[in-house]
Structure 1
Amino acid sequence: MRGIVMNEKLQIAFGLLGGLAIFIYGMNMMSECLQKAAGEKMKSILALLTKNPLLGVLAGAVTTAVLQSSSATTVMAIGFVSAGLMSLPQAISIIFGANIGTTMTAQIIAFKISDYIYIIIFIGFIIAFVTKSEKIKSIGQTIFAFGLLFLGIETMGDVMKPLASSQVFTDLIGKVAHIPVLGVGVGTLMTLVVQSSSATIAVLQNFAAQPGADGMTSILGLAGAIPILLGDNIGTTITALLASIGQSKDAKRTAVAHCIFNISGCFLFIWFVKPFAALIQYISPKGPEIEVISRQIANAHTVFNITMTLIWVCLINVMVKIVMMLIPDGKSKEIDPARPLYLDEKIISQPIAALQLVAKEILHLSDMVKEAVKDTISIVKTEETSRMNALTEKGHQIQTLADRITEYLALLFSSGTMTEQQASQTASLMYVLSDVERIGTLSVEIAGCIQEKADHQYKYTEEAMDELQKSLKTLEKMFDDSMKALQNRDSVQVEKLIKRKDKIIDLDIKMRKAHIQRVNKGKCKSSMTAPFTNILHLIDRMGNSCVNLADVATNEISLEYFMVQH
């Protein structure tokens, strides 16, 4: 008999864990497929992120509804504020909206579609299996994941039924229902373990729908469910805190603002559980409690978050002051030039946002390359090789940063979250990155040739050095214009680039001829032909890379395409 009881307990435990696993898998799959189906529309949503606080709230809510995860939106906001693409008040308004958006999951779960679960899964499977179009396939997979989500809920509901008749369990629930603080602790702990408030609220909705002894009322009741719901909201803030580890102070402040929002809400609502429950019952559908309590919990979740958002959006400046006081500026740390300013691995699963950060990082790299080219021109002009060590170090920093961007793009490819179109765009970004890095590396190599000239006491004529400077200044302008073309799709700039490339070729031919003439006249040593020709070859390769960048801007894509339009 004892073995049978133990077996029943194991079945309940494994059933709950299995149902929860199916639910979380379905929710994550739905999030990923919705992103792919939404595609470029996500950019329009993200474009709202940098507007005023009310639009930020709206964008946060819509983004969370698409991603089906407030944690994902919060992590994205933390990534943006850490990268300096978003101010602290803007990020905080996003998080307020994310808390509203996450209530959509609970509202969806409250629908009773038990009889249609398997047909939904089948329809989603057929659409995804048969279609060739990537967008329609994503829609099919979203429907399939939606069915899985409800299958997980149904599985959890089935295994919870024996618990409702257990005297020990009903006594335990009675204590939780009558001691709100205990309910808050249970909800917080559940979400800390599962790392998803949507999943724990789904468990709560399912459990509350189990009948008590009379078969009509809920085993938990709405007044007992609300404190657990408040605890779920506190527990979800741990994800934001974890995401802010190692990030900028503003990113940490954003995470703390998320905590303050939910903890302050809990402290406010915990004193009014019964009146709040009465209000929710009044505005929710009527009927037997076990049939309507799931919707009541969803409505309580929505009303709680909307109320707290309305309060805090009016006090957003107060929130900023609080988090600034909790996390003061302190001493600014020296920034490693080779460290990415924008990349954030935590938002790899949101390709639209991740690609925006990559585009910004490539522009940051191009600024470093511009400085290297400028320094090379200065070394060629003055022949002061004392500056060579600093330039060589800058060259190493350029290579290191380029490697880190390449690794990030590789992670993005391997995440499996990108559409075919996004994968193609990412390949274009890799071409751009390669040419930008090459220009920086070649520039440092040219300066190295001048160092070699000084070490071996080569003597180039003044005419030769002037022509080298002219070529490098033309290259500097070419690179600057190519980056402008990449950012703005400026076709006039591209045409200028081609003309400048022709000018460099003409200068190259002229310099080679002039050098041979000087050797013939005895003005230059023949042993200097190889090193001088090497410099011309490096200049030619830099020109080719500038033209490559222009070709990408003309024929494929511009960096501006990835940026959020303000």
Structure 2
Amino acid sequence: MNKAVDMFETLLGLLGGLALFLFGMNLMSERLQKVAGEKMRNILGLMTKNPVFGVLAGALVTAVLQSSSATTVMTIGFVSAGLMGLPQAISIILGANIGTTMTAQIIAFKISDYIFLFIFLGFIMSFVGRRERIKDIGLTIFAFGVLFLGIDTMGAAMKPLAASPVFTEMISQVAGIPILGVAVGTLMTLVVQSSSATIAVLQNFASQPGPDGTSSIIGLAGAIPILLGDNIGTTITALLASIGQSRSAKRVALSHCIFNISGALLFVWFVPAFAQFVQMISPTGPEVEVISRQIANAHTCFNVAMTLIWLPFIPLMVKAVMTILPDERRGKRKEGLSLREPAYLDRNMIAQPAAAMQMTVQEILRLAHASSDVLGRLVEAVSASDAAQLAQVEAQASDAHALSKRITSYQSEMFSMGVLTEEQAGLAARLMRVQNEVTRIDALAGSAAGNLKGSHYTKTARKGLHDSLDIVREMLSRSVTALENGDAQVVEYARHMYETVFNIGIDLRKDHVRRVAQGECDPELTEQYNNILLTVDRMGDACVNIAEAARAIDFGYFIVVDDEQAPSEDEGERDDERDVPTADAPKADAAPQNA
């Protein structure tokens, strides 16, 4: 009876300690992402010029965020947004595998005497801090303490196991058969869904003394196969998590799987030699005192060695991944993808704001370039007096409005989840402002096309409309480009050209009055013609608003790797209460008229 009670208490201790560890790890990673996530995202974007920089970026970001999952998700977001190719993504994943070994290195430190100090300080900072950043730092420190409290709890629960002859015999069987150890490690990670947790458990368990009181109950040679299995288990977890996600997510998960499984299959044949090498580079002393550090070093050496092996063969891994998961679409967009359908937004990424914001930027940029195409078609339609092209402008404007609603819905979901930092929330609000201006231009273009249908304007009137619309089209094109490259000079250009459009509108109204007086134009078209000129004026005003956004651009969001995918924009703060003419604007009569 007592043995059953003891086993139950041991099991509760292990599960409780594991729960504390996972809670602390997840909370620490979440808060670190809020504190440093934006800076880490910038590092990922800027340090991918070659595979070596990609590895360094992945290792640094993962070491800081204490989450290879966060790094992987940001990388997937970059790939899905067309800002990063698969080779760069794979180099970052290689680095992330190195960075994640920092967790085991930290666990190897003996800080049991300071656990409650970390918990207390973190609680006080999060409880009394007024600023969001201070609260996040406090919760990070608190989570760090809880993480180590979980480790100590697991360690205390494992002590009775080390004294059990039955359990000791089972462990000796695992330690003597490397393949069995790999299977145990894989199964552990699949159950716990965290390689960091299972490696922490392994470090704690290996630190328990055997019968002689100084040797580890399992030894380094017995721990290494389990460690290799932990690495395999985490790749299967990633593969399962990628089900239902984008093809980019599946490819990144598959490359991670190839990396770790190939490493485990290679190292399992050299466990004794690898153990001797790790012991040689690790601190000396009684085995139970140093084995936690030895396991951490083995984890680091394994990932560094496999990174060095795979680094020259990244093109080979890309080819293998592309063969297993071939393209479903060319470039980044499906053939014939309607403007109504988002090309970049991925709802699986909403919980990761850095990646989701990147995708939102790219989708808004796509909307802006489509708006420039709409204006170009409108210019051609006015010049040729082509009713079919005017109808296409109306259809494109409707599609753009539908896409804008999808973008707004995506951002609203991010807001509702409460995952955005103050900086990200501010950027999201500014992006919505720019999106509104772009959508406004589309609605105005559709309204102008509707007013122009069924009316025959004089050559002079069409020439004036063509010239003013062409100026607005160029303003929009230049403004969007400024959002990509941060060209603040475009603001003065846009304002100057807006004045030109305004003055052209005045001259066109004067000319129209003169033609009406001379009987050359139908006076009943005066209101319609005036509304079209007002619409052009409002388009120019919207272009100025977009141009002004370039002055507050965050360059970190506009990193271009794929030349086919242009980047996006950032801010527009002008408060404009003007209405967008839609169905209320006067339409042309069914019968052709002249103006």
Out of 119-128 and 503-512, give the one that drifted further: 503-512
**1:19-60 per-position Cα deviation (integer Å, ceiling 9, x unaligned):** 223222222222232233336532452244421111111111
| Amino acid in structure 1 at the alignment position of 2:368 | S
Distance 1:311 1:366, change over 3 A: same
1:467 maps to: 464
Matches within 5 A, 1:138-217: 138-217=136-215
What does the per-residue CA deviation read over 1:206-226, in whole Å, with 9 as the maximum and x for residues that have no partner? Answer: 222233344333232222221
Partner of 2:345: 343
How many Å apart are 1:479 and its aligned residue? 0.9
CA distance in 2, matches of 1:461, 1:188: 78
Q: Which moved more, 1:55-64 or 1:392-401?
A: 392-401
Is the contact made by 2:221 and 2:272 (CA closer than 8 Å) also made in structure 1? yes
CA contact (8 A) 1:33 1:141 kept: yes
5+ residue gaps in structure 2?
Answer: 562-595
Cα deviation 1:398-453 (Å, max 9, x = unaligned): 223323332333343344443323322221111111111221222122222223xx
Aligned-residue Cα RMSD (Å) equals 2.7
Q: Residue 420 of structure 1 is aligned with which of 416, 419, 422?
A: 422
The one-letter code sitting in structure 1 at the alignment partner of 2:78 is F
Which has the higher mean CA deviation after the structures are superposed, 507-516 or 419-428?
A: 507-516
CA contact under 8 A between 2:48 and 2:57: conserved in structure 1? no
Alpha carbons 2:81, 2:358 under 8 Å: kept: no
**8 Å CA contact 2:58, 2:71 repeated in 1:** yes
Distance 2:241 2:162 in 1: 38
* 2:263 paired residue number: 265
Report the Cα distance in structure 2 between the residues aligned to 1:278 and 1:541, rounded to whole angstroms: 75
Task: Determine if contact 1:381/1:465 at 8 Å carries over to the other structure.
Answer: yes
Q: How does 1:8-157 map to 2 (within 5 A)?
A: 8-38=6-36, 41-157=39-155
2:538 maps to 1:536: no
1:356 alignment partner in structure 2: 358
Aligned counterpart in structure 2 of residue 493 of structure 1, from 462, 470, 490: 490
Mean CA deviation greater in 492-501 or 239-248: 239-248
Report the Cα distance in structure 1 between the residues aligned to 2:70 and 2:432, rounded to whole angstroms.
26
Matches of 1:528 and 1:11 in 2, distance apart? Answer: 89
Map of 2:335 onto structure 1:
334
Counting only pairs closer than 5 Å after superposition, residues 164-563 of structure 1 correspond to structure 2 as 164-242=162-240, 244-245=242-243, 251-329=249-327, 334=335, 336-337=337-338, 338-451=340-453, 454=454, 458-554=455-551, 557-558=552-553, 560-563=555-558
Point out the more displaced range, 458-467 or 179-188.
Answer: 458-467
Distance 1:246 1:83 in 2: 18
Contact 1:78 1:244 in 2 (8 A): no
Q: Give the 3 Å change call, closer, same or farther, for CA 330–515 of structure 1 in structure 2.
A: closer
Unaligned runs of 5+ residues in structure 1 are: none
Query: Structure 1 stretch 390-399 or stretch 514-523: which is displaced more?
Result: 514-523
Secondary structure of the equivalent of 1:341?
A: coil
1:496/1:528 Cα in 2 relative to 1: closer, same or farther (>3 Å)? same
Distance 2:100 2:165 in 1: 34
TM-superposition CA deviations, 1:188-232 (whole Å, max 9, x none): 122223322111111221222233344333232222221111111
Instruction: Sort the Cα spacing of 1:393 and 1:222 in 2 relative to 1 into closer, same or farther, 3 A.
Output: farther
Q: Is the 8 A contact 1:42 1:352 kept in 2?
A: no
Instruction: Please tell me whether the aligned partners of residues 227 and 299 of structure 2 are also in contact (alpha carbons under 8 angstroms).
Output: yes
Once the two structures are superposed, residues 494-551 of structure 1 have per-residue CA deviations (whole angstroms, 9 ceiling, x without a partner) of 1121122222222333334444454455444444334333323322321221121123
Q: Report the more deviating stretch, 23-32 or 226-235.
A: 23-32
Cα pair distance change 1:255/1:335, threshold 3 Å: farther
Q: Deviations over 1:145-197 (max 9, x none)?
A: 21111112122222333333344433333332222222212211222233221
Change beyond 3 A, Cα 1:411–1:25: farther
Change (3 A) 1:176 1:396: farther
Distance 1:187 1:526 in 2: 85
> Residue type matched to 2:388 in 1?
S
2 CA distance for matches of 1:511 and 1:263? 72
TM-score (norm 2): 0.86
Distance 2:99 2:16 in 1: 26
Indicate if the aligned counterparts of 1:82 and 1:247 stay in contact, CA closer than 8 A: no
The amino acid across from 1:298 in the alignment is: A
With structure 1 as the length reference, what TM-score do the two structures score? Answer: 0.90
Cα 1:331–1:31 change in 2 (3 A) is: closer
CA distance in 2, matches of 1:480, 1:331: 27
Letter in 2 for 1:542: M
Q: Deviations over 1:77-131 (max 9, x none)?
A: 2332333322222221111111111100000011111111001111122233334
What amino acid is aligned across from residue 262 of structure 1 in structure 2?
N
Partners of 2:210 and 2:52 lie apart in 1 by 43
Offset of residue 9 of structure 1:
4.5
Query: Displacement of 1:352 after TM fit?
Result: 4.0
Maintained 8 Å contact 2:47/2:57: yes
Stretch deviating more after TM superposition (329-338 or 206-215):
329-338
Distance in 2 (CA, whole Å) between partners of 1:11 and 1:425 is 50
Distance in structure 1 (CA, Å) of the matches to 2:329 and 2:347: 26
Q: Percent identity?
A: 57
CA distance in 1, matches of 2:462, 2:425: 45
In the aligned structure 1, how far is the partner of 2:356 from the partner of 2:329? 29
CA distance in 1, matches of 2:71, 2:199: 18
Higher mean C-alpha displacement, 92-101 vs 378-387: 378-387
User: Match of 1:187, as an amino acid?
Assistant: G
Partner of 2:489, secondary structure, is helix
Task: For 1:110 and 1:88, locate their aligned partners in 2 and report how far apart those are by CA, in whole Å.
Answer: 34
- Alpha-carbon distance change, 325 to 478 in structure 1, aligned in 2, over 3 angstroms: closer
* Whole-angstrom distance in 2 between the partners of 1:444 and 1:5: 80
Structure 2 Cα separation of the partners of residues 92 and 413 of structure 1: 31
8 Å CA contact retained: 2:224, 2:275: yes
1:251-294: CA deviations, max 9, x gaps? 54433221111111111111122222222223222223222221
Aligned length: 557
How far residue 76 of structure 1 moved from its aligned partner, in angstroms, is 2.5
In structure 2, relative to structure 1, the CA distance for the partners of 1:319 and 1:492 (3 Å cut) is closer
Quote the Cα distance in structure 1 between the aligned partners of 2:354 and 2:413. Answer: 14
> Does the 8 Å contact 2:42/2:556 carry over to 1?
no
Q: Is the 8 A contact 1:244 1:252 kept in 2?
A: yes
Q: Whose helix proportion is higher, 1 or 2? A: 1
- Range with bigger deviation, 464-473 or 520-529: 520-529
**Structure 1 range deviating more: 515-524 or 253-262:** 515-524
For the structure 1 residues 121 and 252, does the alpha-carbon distance in structure 2 shift closer, same or farther, using more than 3 Å as the test? same
Task: Give the distance between the partners of 2:358 and 2:207, measured in 1 at CA.
Answer: 44
